[in-house]
Amino acid sequence: MSAPNKSYDPVEVEALKPEEIERMRDEALAAFAAAADLQQLQEAKTAHTGGTSPLALANREIGALPPQAKAEAGKRVGQARGAVNKALAVRQSELEAERDARVLVEESVDVTLPYDRTPPGARHPLTTFMERVADVFVAMGYEIAEGPEAEAEWFNFDALNFTPDHPARQMQDTFFVQGPQGGDAADESGSGIVLRTHTSPVQVRALLARELPVYVVCPGRVYRTDELDATHTPVFHQIELLAVDEGLTMSDLKGTLDHMVQSLFGPDMKTRLRPNYFPFTEPSAEMDMLCYVCKGASVGNPDRPCRTCSSEGWIELGGCGMVNPRVLIACGVDPEKYSGFAFGFGIERMLMFRHNIEDMRDMVEADVRFTRPFGMEI
């Protein structure tokens, strides 16, 4: 047996010399300091603290040293690795802080910048709603009829059986544009000009211009000398219906009204008629529709009040009736052979009910904050 070969025990290893350890440490510190971002630091970390880094390899050599040298070398390598890890942590937090600051700047949003997306335009809800109402009748075979807004007084009043002293002709209701131009004022040719106070003159024009039978719906803008307030506007919209044919009766009128409110407000809607007077219809009626919110359930029921109909169960809609034979005669229609019905109502008022709009001025003032919730229907 041979004795242990002590000459193989290294007393000194090149990689563990103090100047070598110092060089490895300084290289690591320099690499960390040179790392410009977290990616480069990660690479430097792998190179200088990983399992195959010079300091890790040197550490492995320690085990082969004699005890005294082992302790010294262990201390040197341990101190160097401690310094390297500390420098790495410092540089890591520096670079993370830099990155966070940069991200805050790069990804910031200036909420005070002007809104740069232009919304698509849309027509006013009054216009789209008026068309929707007209469409109900177009679907039944009616035609759209239109007429001038600056209208001959004869069409606006005389032909509709308004006598010359009728209160609606007075200055407080009507915008007069031009006085009578000589001739006979009770005749179309010498008539003055007014801004039409209703869409009914279009009925007269339709009867004069079209072959019988006539089924027309007349949507349009009308004018009255009202102050603008929560429930009045001097310019508003009406839609008017006229049917003239052989054998038409009040029951045709009632069925048409019921169909309209069912189309606009739902299948369980209905209307009722109350006697009234208009010069151009005989008999005449005020038409109400069932309150579309409470369906009449609020009447006499204090536990369930309804704001929409003031707990009356019905909402006043407009006027209607059978066309006055005098109007038919003025339009050259034989009242012995033909009869007709007509009705009209205000679009603003119906839109207010339909959408719980409380102030009519909102519909006039062109503020997009009012129109936007109606959507982008064009």
The helix or strand, by DSSP H or E, that contains position 242, with its residue range, turns out to be: strand 235-245
Q: Which two tokens stand for residue 230?
A: 């929560």
Nearest in space to 254 (alpha carbons), one of 265, 270, 240: 270
CB of 355 to Zn ion, least distance (A): 15
CB of 103 to Zn ion, least distance (A): 57
317 binds Zn ion (CB under 5 A): no
- Count of residues binding Zn ion (CB under 5 A)? 7
One residue of 257, 309, 327, 328 binding Zn ion per CB under 5 A: 309
CB of 288 to Zn ion, least distance (A): 12
One residue of 195, 306, 327, 350 binding Zn ion per CB under 5 A: 306
Between 228 and 297, whose beta carbon lies closer to Zn ion?
297
Q: What share of the chain is helix, strand, coil (3-state, %, to 5)?
A: 45, 20, 40
Distance CA 244, CA 52 (A): 103
Question: Parallel, antiparallel, or unpaired for β 339-346 and 314-323?
Answer: antiparallel
Question: Parallel, antiparallel, or unpaired for β 176-178 and 193-195?
Answer: antiparallel
Calculate the CA 164 to chain-centre distance: 47
Between 199 and 298, whose beta carbon lies closer to Zn ion?
298
Cβ–Cβ < 8 Å for 44, 50: no
Between 191 and 298, whose beta carbon lies closer to Zn ion?
298
CB of 299 to Zn ion, least distance (A): 8
Backbone phi and psi for residue 99, each to the nearest 5 degrees, phi listed first: -65, -45
Between 147 and 313, whose beta carbon lies closer to Zn ion?
313
What mask of x and - would describe binding to Zn ion in positions 259 to 298, judged by CB under 5 A? --------------------------------x-xx---x
Between 55 and 315, whose beta carbon lies closer to Zn ion?
315
CB of 309 to Zn ion, least distance (A): 3
| HSE-CB of 215 using CA atoms within 13 angstroms | 15
Residues with Cβ within 8 Å of residue 373, at least 6 apart in sequence: none
Binding site for Zn ion (CB under 5 A): 291, 293-294, 298, 306, 308-309
